[in-house]
Amino acid sequence: MINLRSITLDDYEAVLGWSRNELFCSANGWEQNRGEEELYKWWAACVHMSADDFIRKGIEYDQRLIGYTDLAFIKDQQQN
């Protein structure tokens, strides 16, 4: 089952795994094997980002984070 949910700092291990996967990085325009500290800072900024017209949600499959999606240029959003 696929589920959209809020991203958290606990997702960092999954993100670190993605950064070490050549196919994932190539498909998503990511630099492969980024430094762990740099990657953690970037992910923490994503988690704590607050904007009225942008939401980043994690994509889970069978309770495992497999990606994320960005919803942008939102008007009159309501947080759930």
What burial class does residue 67 get, using C-beta atoms within 10 Å of its C-beta: 0-12 exposed, 13-18 middle, 19+ buried? middle
Would you place residue 79 in the very low, low, confident or very high pLDDT band (cuts 50, 70, 90)?
Answer: low
Q: Is the pLDDT reported for residue 78 higher than 90? A: no
Quick count: other Cβ atoms within 10 Å of Cβ 65? 20
| Prediction pTM value | 0.81
Residue 50's pLDDT is 85
pLDDT tens readout for residues 47-76: 999 888 889 999 999 999 999 999 888 777
Angle between helices 12-19 and 36-48 (to 10 degrees): 130
**Could you tell me the CA-to-CA distances from 69 to 2, 7, 58 in Å, in that order?**
13, 10, 6
